[in-house]
Structures are given as C-alpha cells and as structure tokens.
Structure 1
C-alpha cells in the first residue's frame, strides 16, 4: 500500500469512527443535544477539532452519516425487490413497506442496538424539515432501490391524491421507527428486535392497514369504494 493510500485509509477509518459514535450519541441524547466536541471526546480523539476538520459542520456530518447508511442498504433493498418480483408480489403494500422498513433492523451498534433506526426517527421528524436533506432528496438516482420502492408504493396507492400518499409514506415509516424504538427499549440489550418477532409482524399488519385505508371523504360517502385486494391500473 502506498503512503497516499495508507493516509486515505486512515482518514476513512477516522471518519467512519466519528460517524458511528455520532450516530450512537444522536440516538441516545437527541440530535440537538450533541456537540462536535462531545463526539470527538466519545470517539477518544486527542483533538476536539477533529470532527470539524473532517466534516466542517454538524449539518455536514449528519448528511454524511445519512449518505453512508442509506447507501449501505441499497443491496438489501435490491435483493428484496427482486424477490418480490419473483414471487409476484411487487405491488403488495405490506411487501413494499417491508422493503422500506425491514433493512433498517440490519444496521446494529457494537452492542446490538438500533442506533441508526433511532437516529433516523429523530432526523425524519425534525431535521429533514429544517433543510438537512436525505440522500433521496439530493439525488434519487444515487439510491435506486429506495427510489423504486417509493415509486411502487405511489403506484399501489393510485386511488389517493399525491399529497395524501406522501403523508402516508411518512406515517408508515414513522409508525415503524417509533414502535421499533419502543420495542428496543423494552426488550433489553440481550434481546435484540428482529423482523421475525411476532410484535414486529403485528406492527407491519397495522402499517399495511393504515396505508390502504381510504381517505376520509371516501370513508364517509363510499365505504366500499376500494378493496385491499385491488391492483393498480
């Protein structure tokens, strides 16, 4: 390995260490309650300015954390989409929500915790609305499996207005993240939350029902207008 390559490898290792520590602290304390100095201290760095050196700002660090983690989920989602196609369930909303949500359980802390899922929950419902973009916002082409999953959800919910579909996608993901956070805190460190857990399976059924519910006006005027078994045009 050349001197330059070795230096690049050390830089990448330092950055990944800082991102991992930041993710854990954000999940434990809340994103707004963690400073760059605290991240450096928790990572065991000699210089308190090391985070600023590598990422310049807290916002850039958060953006890099999202880029790293979300792109790491692409192979899993790609495989799940191919499996859905092979099984003929490519427009089944429960399957699509599983593709959206289940891979988040694969990212674990050193102690088996769900730091990224907890961080993502805090990010989605605070910082994204404040202008810190998700990788999908910046370049949907950089996360093709995620983009395809969201597009299929859009097509499956064809009977809803576009704005309602967006709300339901956020609601479905929020239901998953919030309930997973609760399950993780109540299960204890020696019992990690798994997608095969009965409570997670029940959660996915609730999310499916919420996604497929007709809009309020249809509930009042045409209670049988749509069926959960309907296929998109």
Structure 2
C-alpha cells in the first residue's frame, strides 16, 4: 500500500468528515469511498480514526504556519497595529482556508468539530505545540494580556472562537468576498483578548487558588 492509497484515503476522509462530522462516518465507509482494496488500509497508514483526523488536519498545517509566521515576523519588526495585529495573525492564516480549493473549507469544518466535540482530540489548554506558529503566537501575546486573563485561558478562548466561527462560515458554503467577515472576526478576537476580567471573576479566581 503506497503513497497514492494514503493520499486517496486523506482526500476521501477530508470530504466525508466535513460532510458528516467526525463521528458521522465510519472508517469502513471512508475506505470504500476511497477505492482502497485493503479493508485495513486506514489502520496501516494512520493507525486509527484519531490518527487519520490528525493527518487530515496536518495536511494544511504547513500553509497556515508559513502565513502566520510571516505575519508575526512583520508584527515583531514594526509592532503593526498592536494587539489587533496579533489578533489578525491568529485569524487570517486560518481564514485564508475559506477560499482554498484544495480542501480548505473542509479542513476548517473538521478542525472546528475536533475542538468542540465532547471528547476533544487535543489538550485544549495546551493547544499549539512548541515549534508551531500557534505556539509562537501564544508566547508573543502573553505579555500583552492581564495575568488573570492568562490563568483563565483567554488565549484558548480566542483560538476556539476563531476556529468555531470559521468552521461555521465554511459550512455555510458562501463564496466570494470574505473580507468584511474576517475583519469583524479580528475585531471580536481583539476584544476577547483585551477584555479585563471583572471584579467578580477575579474574586472567584482568587478563591479557587486558595
């Protein structure tokens, strides 16, 4: 079983997982639709369902990382647009997938499903492994956030809101100009990051830490 079979499985999984949801399609269906002859082809190439989903998401990770690193390089060079510039560096590389004909909208839908399902595929509080552009973004944004906001995982809230909204947009199958939607999403993410915790929230947080 070679690279061609692996690629067919990835493409088929991308389409079916986006259409039916992570838990809405069986590995057997994916194998059959891909045309793979060996019924254990997915296990051979990806080990299990989680491995397949991670491979589908990983197919798009290099594009996103390159785009985000470019924006972060630019931000570090001139501090462009302050906090909103960093919010844009989070949002825009993923938003570019809305118009990527090579499975971009499907990727966003699957990523949103993976993050919001009852049993997420990722450690939600630690999303963004070292060496990725998302980890770099997390480190750059941290000094700009309220200390209590960091303890409350405000960065993850911004990530989750971004992916959820982009997945919703991708699922709506809207074509054309996404600029207003993306700009508004950057505004919303900026507000999430900048909003100080209330006195009530701070009090409850101090009580929990005792």
What's the TM-score bracket when you normalise by the shorter of the two chains?
A: 0.7 to 0.9
SS in 1 for 2:38: coil
Distance (Å, rounded) in 1 between the aligned partners of 2:58 and 2:41: 20
TM-score between both structures, scaled by the size of structure 2: 0.78
Contact kept? 1:63, 1:133, Cα under 8 Å: no
Higher Cα Rg, which structure: 1
Give the match for residue 35 of structure 1.
26
Following superposition, the deviation at residue 137 of structure 1 comes to 5.6
Return closer, same or farther for 1:192/1:31 CA change in 2, 3 Å cut-off. farther
Q: Which runs of 4+ in 1 moved over 6 A?
A: 218-221
Contact kept? 2:91, 2:162, Cα under 8 Å: yes
Following superposition, the deviation at residue 147 of structure 1 comes to 1.3
Unpaired runs of at least 5, structure 2: 204-210
RMSD of the alignment, in Å? 3.0
Number of aligned residue pairs: give it. 200
User: Is residue 93 from structure 1 mapped to residue 93 from structure 2 by the alignment?
Assistant: no
TM-score between both structures, scaled by the size of structure 1: 0.72
Which aligned pairs between 1:52-201 and structure 2 lie closer than 5 A? 52-89=43-80, 92-107=82-97, 108-110=100-102, 114-126=105-117, 130=120, 132=122, 139-141=129-131, 143=132, 145-164=133-152, 166=153, 168-186=154-172, 188=174, 191-192=175-176, 194=178, 197-201=179-183
Equivalent position to 2:199, from 210, 217, 221? 217
Contact kept? 1:63, 1:132, Cα under 8 Å: no
Distance (Å, rounded) in 2 between the aligned partners of 1:138 and 1:210: 18
